[in-house]
Structures are given as structure tokens and as C-alpha cells.
Structure 1
Amino acid sequence: MKQSRANRATRGRRASLLATLAMTAVAGGVQAAGAAPAGATVAGVTRHVGPLVPSDGRPQTEAQAECPAGKKVIGGGARVTGPAKASIRLTRLVPVSEPGGPDRFEAAAEEPPGGATGVHSLEAYAMCAPANTVPGHTIRALSSAWEAKPIHEAVAGCQDPNDEVLGAGAAIDDNGAGTVHPGLQMARVGAPALDIARARAALVPGSSLGSWRVLAYAICVDRTALDARASSDVQPLRLVHQPCPSERPTLLSVGGATGADADGFPSFLNDLFPEQVPGQSGYRTLLRVAGPLPADGVAVRAICA
């Protein structure tokens, strides 16, 4: 599927039902020839924050963050704010790289089917790298099949076996019908190999069961570009952070996953973005979930160099 087609096809909706996490806290990767030496900050990787977009009474909010000229998107995320924050779920986390325009990271969030108490706002984030430091930069999108079922999963990878996945995205597509209400549960790079991007979404309890799908996005670059590794953890918390280790202090992209509680009620991605480390100049992954605490915990991941 072409990137531009996937972007047009994909709009977020709402989420629910069982999902179990089989997630391992791992740190691994492939040593890259000519990559930045361990412990050195990777030059030129920057975080860019888009404008805060208020819901203004709309059930769904969309936002984006752009990379400056000469830079490519390698990751990104989104943050929800406002009184209704706890009930809002992310439905779109999509990296975009198209001819004729700046690279960007798009996000969408949505209220539950019955609405929310109060308003919310959405803020998108983009992690960007100089184009000459990420040779072979491409974005691949693959989707699950169109089906009426409570959970969808998708996996995207790179076409070139010499490439690796630096960042991931995920999005829900109901073909604009608005009759089903899924929410995102997973958007992350596979580790330790950094060879795939995984996406998962589930229906909100009480949703009507119509056909929909989820798309996974893989941001691919030449494996020799950066000495990237995954730093991961699983915690029994709704809010978790994952920093980069001191030997690889530069955050390239964020990722995370949640699931369902012991009774099968799902939780959803609420915040997933590169947060500045308090008192420092670097960044870490922040993941927050909306809904019940998942039985298997919340998995958080940072891709670092």
C-alpha cells in the first residue's frame, strides 16, 4: 500500500475488548558500521511540537507536527490535555513523508461514544533527523483485513533486508462510516531486531460491530545509518516513562502497548509522546493509558542511539 493512499484512507474511531500482552523488556539491536559512537548524542535529531488543537465540542480532534526543511520524520506521538483527558483515546499516530511538502507526524484522538464530560485538546509531536543522516528513508504501511471483529492487529516491515525500522505508527480506518468505535492499543517498533512495526486496536465496549481495520506504519532507514537500540519496560501502571540509556542518550522514536483488564475490558493509548526529561535537554518516552489498568501491565519502548 502506498503511503499517500494509506494516509487518505485512515481516520480514527473508537475502541474495546480483550487483548493480552506478551511483551518482554528488552534492549538490543544491530551494531552499525560507521554509526555514531556509543555515548555520543546524535547530531541534528530534534523534537518538534505542533500547535495545541482544542476539541471545540467535536468528538474527534486532529493535530500534526511538522519537521523543518531538510529533515525527515523518524518518529512522533501525541498528548491529550484538558478536563476530559482521562476518557479520550488516540486513534491515529501516523508519520508522513511525501514529495512537495514537509515531513510531519499526524495524530487524532476521540471521545467515547456517549461523549465526554468537559473538553480536551490534542498536541502532536515529531522527531526529525537531517535527511543525509537517514539514507533509504521510506515509510511503509500495511493493514489488517476488513473485518467486523473486536480486535485488529497489523505488522509492517521494510522491503529491503538491509533496512531497519526506526519508528512506528498506527491508525484506525472505518472507511469514514463512524459506526464502529475503536481505539489504539499498540504502536511500537519490534525489538530487539528493529525489523517491524506493530499496531493494534480494539473496540470500545458497547460499540456496534461493523467492518474496520488497523494500519501499521514502519519508518525504514539503511541499517548503517544509526546505531539504534530498543530500551523497554513493562509496568503495572497507567503512566510510565522510558528513558534512553547513558551510552545511547538520543531518543529517536517512542512506542508502547496496552491491553485489557482481568475481565476483558480494554484500555487504550491516551498519551504516547517524546517528553523532555526533567532538568535535562534530552527526551524520554511517556505513555499513559485510558481505561482500566491492563492485567499484564503497560509496555513502553524508546528507540535510542
Structure 2
Amino acid sequence: MICIVQMGLLFTVVPGAGRSISGSGSDLALEVKMDACRSLRRWVSVATAAFVVAGLQVVTAGPAVALPATTVRTGFSEGGHSPGLTKWAEALCPAGQVVVGGGGEVLGEPQRTTVLTAVEPHTPEGPKPYRFVVQARALAWKLNGPNEDWQLKAYALCVPAASMPGYRIESYVSLPTTDRFMAHRAVCRNGLVAYSAGATTSDTTAFGLQLVRTSESLDITRATARAFFTPVTKEWSLTAIAVCGPRKDGIVAAGQVGPGPLVGVSCPAGTTQQIHGAGGGLGLTDDGGTNWIRELRPGQEASAPSSTRVRMSLQGPPGEAVAHTTCATKTP
């Protein structure tokens, strides 16, 4: 089944059925239903429409004006493959380019108990250009012996600044809480759309990311985080981040639900499109258990990648996960 969101309507197409069902609903209501589809595999309703998703793909339409090919940059944490409780890495955009998305990946550590705690696009600070910064924490540090050697890799997706008028990075900090789980969102305003999502918490040693992605309508981004250990005795907050830019390139949102821990998704039009951000993870509610994002990155390191992938940790049962990305026609 393919779900297409266009002009505020939801169209559900069942392959082989030769028909579609449409209905209206808010972005939040729609996404809650889609997350219900992902986790429960049962009938749900969106306004007057009801549908079941088995291999979800979501596409949001827009005008078709291409952007230049994205440049992919990478960076690594210091020290190579080595033990460590926490590490960070950054990937820097070339001069004259802005960051539209990125991601991170834990290398090594075959036990897969090291997870991402922050994925953040950054504007220039001092001599540093636009960049993407990631952080990670080893949950079984000193317990896995030599298997705990690891390194963190950061990815940045960059485009010429001149192609992104109105570009801005929006950050929204939640109210503090002592709950073990939190969901939050960031908003793109004034007609801008969300090219990618980011997230971090006020304590990256105690909380990991479970979901980072744009919405299906591309006007907001969503993030969730969960505590590594309970009970939570100190207040904390979650920051959701949106990279916002002009709707001028037919930008679309595409997602694929599959069995974890590894899920990938490609742009609907294949290599004629490029991704502008990597996203995914679990759902919007605290039903993911002790699983956090371990890998969230473009599928290829070459210029103008057309797919993305997400890998969850192996702290809990793999369950299902969603890979999510934003795609657009690329300049030939």
C-alpha cells in the first residue's frame, strides 16, 4: 500500500485494487495513525478513510524546480577505533555552502550497544563553517572488553548557499521533565519547508535518540528521546531541530517501515532524485523499549545520494523501525 499526502488530503492506493480512498486530517493525526500502522499493523482511521500499511511509503508533492547536487562531507571522532564512554564528530561543509542535512554512524563495537545522543546541524561559529555534529555514548563501556573499541563518523549534506534563499535552522527546546521519554517538534514558518531534522538533549550522557525525522507534510520535524536508566531523578529537556528552506525543488518525504534493526529507503524516482536529509527510528510514543538509534546516514557517500538508512541498537528486541528521508529532483 502507498500513502500519498497532497494538498491536505490523504490518498490511499492499494496495488492491484485499482481504486483510491481519500480523506482529510491534520499532520499530527495523520502521523499518529501512520505510527499506529507501523507498530500495530491494524486498521486505523484518518478522518473518513481507513487503511493498513504493509511497507509504508509516503510522498508529499511540490513544484518541480531542481537544486544543485548535494555535496557529501564526512568527519571522524579523534583517536580512531578505541574504547570510550562518549565521543563526538563533525563534518564540515565547503566554503559558500550551507548544511541541509546529515547524520552519524557508530563504527566497530560489534555488540551494537553504542548509540547516538545528538545529531545537530550548525550555522558558522568563529572560523568553523556550516557543519553537522553528532555525539554517541557507549552503554556497555568496559563490559565488552576489546569489543568495545569504536569510532564515530559524521555526515553533512551541503548545497550552495545561493540556492537556498530564506534558509534558516530552527531549534525548539521542550519544557523540562523527569519523565523517562519525551517527544518534541520543530516548526518551519513563513512558507519554508523542512529539509531535514536534528535533535539533542540537555544531558547526552543519560538520554539517547529514538526518532529524528521530518513530517510527511514537511512543515515540521519530530524527535523523541528516552532515558538510558530509570528512574530519572533530574529534570531534562529535548531540543528538536529543523533545517528550513524554500519550497522550490519538488521536495518530497519518503519513508519505509520494516523489521529492525536496519531499515533503508530510496527516493521514489530513484537516482534522478537526491536526498536532503536522513531520518528515521521508532514511533512517537514510549513503546520502543531500550532501543536507540545507532546509525542514521545517507545510503551513499558520493555526490547527490538517493537513499538513506537507519539502524537501531541491539539493547532490546529489534521490532520495527522506519527509515525516512526528504528527496528532490537534482540538477542534471
| Corresponding position of 1:11 | none
Counterparts of 1:258 and 1:299 in 2: how far apart (Å)? 6
Change (3 A) 1:85 1:228: farther
Counterparts of 1:68 and 1:154 in 2: how far apart (Å)? 31
Counterparts of 1:120 and 1:220 in 2: how far apart (Å)? 33
Of the three residues 223, 235, 238, the one matched with 1:199 is 223
1:186 aligns with 2:217: no
| Corresponding position of 2:3 | none
Structure 1 residue 30 displacement after superposition: 3.7
Counterparts of 1:94 and 1:263 in 2: how far apart (Å)? 25
Counterparts of 2:84 and 2:231 in 1: how far apart (Å)? 19
Structure 1 residue 85 displacement after superposition: 5.5
- Normalised by the length of structure 1, the TM-score is 0.80
Unaligned runs of 5+ in 2: 1-33, 39-52
Counterparts of 1:299 and 1:92 in 2: how far apart (Å)? 18
- Normalised by the length of structure 2, the TM-score is 0.74
Unaligned runs of 5+ in 1: 1-19, 37-41
| Corresponding position of 2:18 | none
Corresponding residue SS for 1:86? coil
| Corresponding position of 1:17 | none
| Corresponding position of 1:227 | 250
Corresponding residue SS for 1:132? helix
Greater relative contact order (Cα 8 A, min sep 6): structure 1 or 2?
A: 1
Of the three residues 286, 289, 293, the one matched with 1:269 is 293
Corresponding residue SS for 1:266? coil
| Corresponding position of 2:11 | none
Map 1:293-304; keep pairs closer than 5 Å: 293-295=317-319, 297-304=320-327
| Corresponding position of 2:263 | 240
Of the three residues 165, 169, 172, the one matched with 2:194 is 165
| Corresponding position of 2:312 | 289
Change (3 A) 1:31 1:206: closer
Summarize deviations over 1:48-98 as a string: whole Å, max 9, x none.
111354474331000000000011100000010112550011000000013
| Corresponding position of 1:28 | 59
Corresponding residue SS for 2:112? helix
Of the three residues 74, 87, 100, the one matched with 1:74 is 100
Aligned length: 271
1:107 aligns with 2:128: no
Structure 1 residue 44 displacement after superposition: 3.1
Change (3 A) 1:81 1:114: closer
Native 8 Å contact 1:277 1:283 kept in 2: no
| Corresponding position of 1:89 | 115
Summarize deviations over 1:148-176 as a string: whole Å, max 9, x none.
1110111001131x1100011011113x8
1:50 aligns with 2:81: no
Native 8 Å contact 2:306 2:327 kept in 1: no
Counterparts of 2:172 and 2:278 in 1: how far apart (Å)? 19
